[in-house]
Amino acid sequence: MLTTHHFDIDVTPAQIVWGKRELEVDERKAGFLEKAKSVFRNVVNAEVAKETDQYPETQYDPATVDAARLVFEARVREINLAASHEDVDALES
């Protein structure tokens, strides 16, 4: 992962030199967890919006939310089991 940079003016032409650090597995997993939360939150928000929209025939569907919850929980378990960069790479497919 790139961090800060500095300019090396002792060479011609001057160069931008970037610092680097190891990207931790947990940092990568955090991105997947946030995406899973966002997908689940969107389903819940869409269902809640049905209760407050202008159409009386639309209603909150708990089965839809429950199905999304099951998918979310399975994804979180899968993410939590990832222990290496290779495991995290496999989450992308």
Residue length, the chain?
93
Residue 83: strand, helix, or coil: coil
- How many CA atoms, within 13 angstroms, populate the side-chain half-sphere of residue 9? 0
- What pLDDT sits at residue 46? 95
Q: What is the pLDDT of residues 23-74, one digit of tens each?
A: 899 999 999 999 999 999 999 999 999 988 888 888 999 999 999 999 999 9
In the predicted structure, residue 1 carries a pLDDT above the cut 80 = no
- pTM of the entire structure? 0.73
How many other CB atoms are found less than 10 A from the CB of residue 34?
Answer: 10
Query: Where are the chain's structural domains?
Result: 24-91
In the predicted structure, residue 3 carries a pLDDT above the cut 80 = no
Q: What is the pLDDT of residues 15-29, one digit of tens each?
A: 999 988 888 999 999
